[in-house]
Structure 1
Amino acid sequence: MILIKHHNEGNLEPYFYFALEKYVLEHLLKDNETYFFTWRIKGIVSGKNQVIENEINIPYVKEHNVKFFRRPTGGGSVYADENNTMFTIITKRSGQNFSFKNYLVKITDAFKKLGVNLDFSGRNDILLDGKKVSGNAFLQNKYGMLMHGTMMYDLDIETMVRALNPPDEKLISKGIASVRSRVNNLKPYLNGMSHDELVSYLETELTSSVYEINQEEVEQLKKDAKFYASSEWLYRSQPEYTQKLSKRFDWGHIDMRFNIKSGMIQNVDITGDFFELKEDLKSLEKPLLNQVWSYASIKEILNSIEVDKIILNATNEDILALFDNAFIETNN
């Protein structure tokens, strides 16, 4: 394989690396070539087809400033920190049906030389002593195949559990114990090998030549990376879904159900045991239709509505409070 030197070490956000993957896949990759590089990030990375708000423990993420991202591959959400290494393998598609094992065997063979025996499990996991140390995702298109995965050196498992759903403390406590029984860190098995030494070993063991990204390419990749940091990529790329918000106030209980498609509100349904001051709730529902599903947008709309004229004793602040844990970004 060909090792890519990307000169982006220390950057714990994945945007540059996603842009690099796309660049290698669409512009560098030639027949009979396979590229490899490693990277580190800190935060939650959700799959391309997931609804981010459903994957994250929003109160915890907001309190602890845990960052969140969306990757261009499928699969589930993962948490990574600086004590976890990500790796990417990019190659041309083979004539056979895709199998993670065909590519991950290179990783497991490298660890065997360190005296660490890794096994495959399920569709995309690598296990150590029956516990997961690596999860992987892929995409393939007309240009080739891209696969990337995690490698848990000394990952903070408790933060991983708390940052991902569910938010209930009892479930979290049970979850930490449960997850610890199913995941593993590599560090205790490596006879004192540091994280940096492990990465250097894998890069040397798995590759036979180097492609060094030049400064012109770096600047272009930084520009391309902005797409993966955009709200459009993060939220409007999500599949259609329904968001239900519920809260009890002194004036009654209210449920608000939103159908969201491409980041826009397609339908609103408000129910509850409150008292209406008008014949129906259209004066509250209608202004929200076909609007951007974001905290800033909702806040602006509510500022133009007199909620106390629609629901007895309710205030605009009450309705806005419903959305506090519906969005990760509520600083606007």
Structure 2
Amino acid sequence: MAHTVLHSSRHVPAGWLNWIRHSCSWSGHPRLKFRTLASVVQPRVTPVSRPREGCSTPVNGSLQLRHASSQTSASDFGGVSILNDWAKHSIFVSTSTDPFFNLSLEDMLFRRHDKTKPLLLIYRDTPCVVIGRNQTPYKEINLAELNRLKIPFIRRKSGGGTVFHDLGNTNYSIHLARTTFDRHVTAQVIVRALQRLGLDAGVNDRNDICIGTNKVSGSAYKIVNNRAYHHGTMLISTRLDTLGNVLRVNKDNLITKGVASVRSPVCNLQQHNPGIGHEEFTNAVIDEFRDEYSVRTEVCFVSDSKEILDEPDIRNGMVELQSWEVLYGQTPEFTHKLERQFPWGHVVGPV
């Protein structure tokens, strides 16, 4: 008998993501990944106590627990049986903090989910640096500092610049049909989420989300055939000192055909409101996504359990992201200009 059940809710109550992350050990079943929650309409960000398995009464008046009984056929999700229940969902929150898993999950949802439906994915990563598809790591990253801190870098499949992820940063990804995709509209979804949290946020001329003159979210985009997405970071309480150190690199003598990052002053949301955390931001984005795209499906919480890790799309994606061919082999052509001053003259040589 399969032991995979779905864990979903209309909202992500404050503090719940931490409990969900440890739900496997609580359940006592090593193969249990998800549970299902049905929402009762209540104020949006309401802390709830941890539910009892099998409870069918509201918990603190905001949520009630039930088990999923999906009738979705395998063909609805490309024949991937473990993902049967995902086909009916449009909002996904990853409880994994593995950046290779989360980027593979994002790519799989982009390629395999219903191309006509809006989709939202939210996740956090342990410390890593993520470069754009057309960037040169030697120009964008302080590789010596990364090695010292034992932080990996990853080449994503979208364009744009280099970003730093840690648990103080929350990532969002909005997928839409190409015919309805508008990056200005998706940016406003995030801006309204911040305004819902009492922040005076706006969008600059580069479509970066800012508070005042400081950027709090950088964005990148991908369009393939009839599907497109806008994904971005949100600096909530990230280590800005580490961000500066790993992205600070002096490579003026490196001439590359790759896309260079645009450096901007940044700040954390908690510098403006210390009460904002991952859960509060997640709830606000979910609310605005629902309002903008008229989405009423429950939230699907995704863990990096063995069954999911064994899915070919996830497994192969994680291997690919860590391969030399992707990390370095896809680096655009570049020339390193070496300069040295000697007593007898100045020497410049391209390598």
TM-score by length of 2: 0.60
Label 1:45 to 1:206 Cα distance change in 2 as closer, same or farther (>3 A). Answer: same
Q: Which of 114, 123, 132 is the aligned partner of 2:215?
A: 132
Answer 1 or 2: higher relative contact order, Cα 8 Å, separation at least 6. Answer: 2
CA displacement 1:289-317 (0-9 Å, x = unmatched): xxxxxxxxxxxxxxxxxxxxxxxxxxxxx
CA contact (8 A) 2:132 2:162 kept: yes
2:135 to 50, 53, 56: 50
Match of 2:310 among 191, 194, 219: 219
| Maintained 8 Å contact 1:57/1:166 | yes
- What are the ranges of 5 or more consecutive residues in structure 1 without an aligned counterpart? 169-178, 259-332
Q: What's the counterpart of residue 280 of structure 1? A: none
SS at match of 2:158: coil
Count of residues in correspondence between the two structures:
239
Shift of 1:201: 4.0
Q: Which amino acid aligns with 1:40?
A: R
Give the letter for the 2:179 counterpart: S
Q: Verify the 8 A CA contact 1:88 1:148 in the aligned structure 2.
A: yes
Residues 125-204 of structure 1: pairs in structure 2 closer than 5 A: 125-167=208-250, 182-190=265-273, 192-204=275-287
Residue 167 to residue 101, structure 1, CA distance change in 2 (3 Å) = same
**Secondary structure in structure 2 of the residue aligned to 1:26:** helix
Match of 1:20 among 105, 116, 121: 105
- Contact 2:190/2:288 (8 A) holds in 1: no
Q: Does 1:10 align with 2:103?
A: no
1:242 and 2:335 aligned: yes
Which one-letter code corresponds to 1:49 in the other structure?
Answer: N
2:174 counterpart residue number: 89
1:64-122 CA deviation, whole Å, 9 max, x = no partner? 22321111111111122211111111111026xx6421111111112222221211112
Instruction: Check the 8 A contact 2:142/2:245 in 1, yes or no.
Output: yes
Shift in Å, 1:190: 3.0
Tell me: CA distance 1:138–1:158, structure 2 relative to 1, closer, same or farther (3 Å): same
Alignment match, 1:317 = none
CA apart distance, 1:163: 1.0
- C-alpha separation in 1, matches of 2:97 and 2:163: 20
Q: 2:186 aligns with which of 91, 99, 103?
A: 103
SS of match in other structure, 1:94: helix
Q: Which residue of 1 aligns with 2:119?
A: 35
User: Which structure is larger by alpha-carbon Rg, 1 or 2?
Assistant: 1
- Cα gap change, 1:191 to 1:50, in 2 (>3 Å): closer
Conserved? CA contact 1:40–1:84, under 8 Å? yes
* C-alpha distance in structure 1 between counterparts of 2:201 and 2:114, whole Å: 29
Please tell me whether residue 206 in structure 1 is matched to residue 294 in structure 2.
no
Question: What is the RMSD computed on CA atoms of the aligned residues?
Answer: 3.0
Secondary structure at 1:147's aligned position in 2? Answer: strand
Offset, 1:204: 4.8
Report the CA distance shift for 1:126/1:240 in structure 2 as closer, same or farther (over 3 A): same
Aligned CA distance change for structure 1 residues 38 and 62 (closer, same or farther; 3 Å): same
SS of the equivalent of 2:328 reads helix
Q: 1:59·1:167 contact (CA, 8 Å) conserved in 2?
A: no
> Would you say the 8 A contact 2:216–2:267 is kept in 1?
yes
1:74 to 148, 159, 169: 159
CA separation of 1:230 and 1:255: change in aligned 2, threshold 3 A: farther
